[in-house]
Each structure stands twice: as structure tokens, then as C-alpha cells.
Amino acid sequence: MNVQYGIGLYTGQVPPGEDIGFHDEYARIIEQAKLAEAVGLDSIWLSEHHGADDGYLPSVLPLASAILACTTRLVVGTAVLLAPFHDPLRLAEDVAVLDQMSGGRFILGMGTGWRRSEFRAFGANPATRGRALEETVEVLRRAWQGERFAFDGRVHKIDSAIVRPQPFTPGGPPIWLGGTGPRALARAGRLGDGYFGVCAPFDAIMSTYSRVLESAPDERRESFSFGQLRSGFIAEDPELGWKLARRGMTYTMDVHARWAAEEAGKPVAAHAQLTSDDAVREYNLIGTVDEVTAALRPYEHRFARRTDSHLCFRLYHPYMPHDAVLDAIQTFGRLTVPGLRATAEGQPPPR
């Protein structure tokens, strides 16, 4: 089976100085999703955070529903939904309806969360976040069996419940888990149907995936799925692409650097640039069609034989002209992805 190619992560952020509102931002995401399907891409991925000044997407399922309603083939995945902030029974019902509505085009990626301000907002205990995620996985799988059940966990308790309707996908949609630490990787292999990883050098990602698989039960190792985020831009002139994307790429990396500083008790000025241009260039893959295709080819070779693996390429960055993003999505779908698949099959790339 070919690697599946998608776009994202979509975060719905409207940073300071942006000339659009959230209504327009969400409309752009939906327009890009429809274009992605039209040019042959396979998936789109959404990310969740709470209480951010720039409105970082706090509710992924409504946007997932809107995208699924206006597409017919595109898979929507969450990378990731933050399980400790969701009631698992309510989540089981919402996802069952979403899965039915879409005909099984949804992947539920979940993680633990890490920002203390979010845990305070929801009255959740960060010390039990791993347990909350594990119990959520168990509740979902039991709820999607269609039988009445009870659950007595350390974080979640359900006296008696039954979920109707059952999901379209027998047993429920795939549950992928995220995270980067040793516990998170072991958890993903032990409990997940797949794992979604963030940008990192290729060799480091392959090492991470090997550690995840080591924790997976033998009967699930062949079917275990992987998702991988890469961030960048495609342009005939890479330096022009850098000029178009630099501000937004830097902003995105600075947001996470600022959050990490806050967690470490070292808050920084709101408008300070924390990420160097060299670091932004290293993290983001900016190049021509041929250059991007060559850089992504190792993923195609590594995952082509797995049952369901997705490479998610982030092409939409804050402050970018929307037309430039739409052009890049078309290029990715019509040239880059066919080129990757053709060379994997020993055929000449399209021109």
C-alpha cells in the first residue's frame, strides 16, 4: 500500500497583525481541504490547544465535521486531541456520530497535553494525565463495542452506559497516540493503533518508530500505523518561498518556545523573537518540487509496505498570502506526491 499524503497541522491561529478573523481562518482551512481532495491528497490533520491569545484551535471535532461534510474521500485526523480535557463517554458519542457521518474517514489521534495553564482551566490533574489518556482509550474501545458497560478507573468512572449509534467503522475508528518521551512511546505501541510523530531528523524518527513498535503486541505490529509531520513550503524559487513563509514559520516556532519557557518558569516578552532564522530553516523543508520530493522520498521507501501510514506536510503558515498556499497545495498534490509514488514504483516522475 502507498504512503498516504496529507496537509496540516491546522491550528486555526490568527496571530497579531493578521488581517483576517476566525470566521475567515476556518473558511480558508475548509477551502484548502476541498482543494487537497481535488488534487489527490489523502488526509488533513487538526491540532488542539486552549486559552491561547491567537485562538489556537480549542475544539477540533466541529472543524473535523465541517471538513468531512464537504469532502467525499479525504480522511480527517487529529494530531492530537488532548484527552485529559474531554469526558470519555461524551467523546465516544461524538466520534461515533462523526465516523457514521463520514463513512469511516476519521482517525482519532490523542495525547496527554503538557501546558499547566490548560490543566488549571479544566480542573484536571497534570499528575494523572497519562492515566487519563490510557483510561480514555479503554472507555472508547469498550463504548464502541455496542454493549452496556461500566468503568471504574482512577480518573474516570462510569456507572452504566451504552453508546448509540455505534461507529460506522466496526469497533470504532483508529486510535493513534502521540508524545515524545519514553513513557509516551511505550504507551503508543502498547495501546494505540498508530503513532503520530512531530518533525525531527529522519534517523531520529526511525529510531522513535522502532521504539514504539517494540512496545506493540506481536499481533498488531504488522498493522500498526504511523503518521509523520513535516513542515515547509514548495516554490520554484526557494528564496522567494522563504520570504513568503519566514514570518509565519518563525511565529509558529516562537509560540511553542514561549510556552516551553512559561512551563520552565521563565516567561519571555510577548513580541520577542525566540527562534533564529537558522533554526527555522533547519526545521522547515523549503525547496523546489524536485528538492522536496527528494527530501520526502525516504519516508515513502520506509513506510510504503505498512497498512496505513500518513505523511502530513504543513504548507499553511500564518501571515502567508492565501493564493500562495493554494498554489503550493496544488503543486504538492499534482507533482510532489505523484513523483514520490512513481519513483517508489520504478516509474519516471510526472512533469
| 118-167: pLDDT as tens digits | 999 999 999 999 999 999 999 999 999 999 999 999 999 999 999 999 99
pLDDT, residue 181, reads 93
In sequence order, what are the residues at sequence separation of 6 or more whose Cβ sits closer than 8 angstroms to the Cβ of residue 27? none
| 204-246: pLDDT as tens digits | 999 999 999 999 999 999 999 999 999 999 999 999 999 999 9
| For residues 197-207, average pLDDT | 91
At 331, list the grid cell: 503543486
Which CATH number is 4-239+289-344 given?
3.20.20.30
In the chain, what are the domain boundaries?
4-239+289-344
* Other CB atoms within 10 Å distance of the CB of residue 53: 11
E strand or H helix at 285, and its extent? strand 284-287
Report how far residue 286's alpha carbon sits from residue 292's, in angstroms, rounded to the nearest whole number: 7
| 267-303: pLDDT as tens digits | 888 788 999 999 999 999 999 999 999 999 999 999 8
| 98-108: pLDDT as tens digits | 999 999 999 99
Asked whether 96 and 166 are in contact (CB, 8 A), the reply is: yes
Residue in the structure block whose three cell numbers are 496544488: 330
pLDDT tier at 347, thresholds 50, 70, 90? low
Asked whether 319 and 268 are in contact (CB, 8 A), the reply is: no
Q: Give the pairing of strands 149-152 and 157-161.
A: antiparallel
At 303, list the grid cell: 513506510
* Other CB atoms within 10 Å distance of the CB of residue 208: 19
Q: Is the pLDDT of residue 348 over 80?
A: no
In sequence order, what are the residues at sequence separation of 6 or more whose Cβ sits closer than 8 angstroms to the Cβ of residue 342? 348, 349, 350
3-state secondary structure of 316: coil
Q: Which among 302, 335, 347, 308 is positioned nearest to 107, based on CA atoms?
A: 308
Round the CA-based radius of gyration of the chain to a whole number and report it.
20
pLDDT above 90: percentage of residues in the chain: 92
Q: What is the pTM of this model?
A: 0.96
Across 66-75, 183-192, 269-278, least confident range: 269-278
In sequence order, what are the residues at sequence separation of 6 or more whose Cβ sits closer than 8 angstroms to the Cβ of residue 57? 10, 11, 12, 13, 46, 47, 48, 49, 63
pLDDT, residue 344, reads 66
Helices (H) and strands (E) in the chain, counts: 12, 12
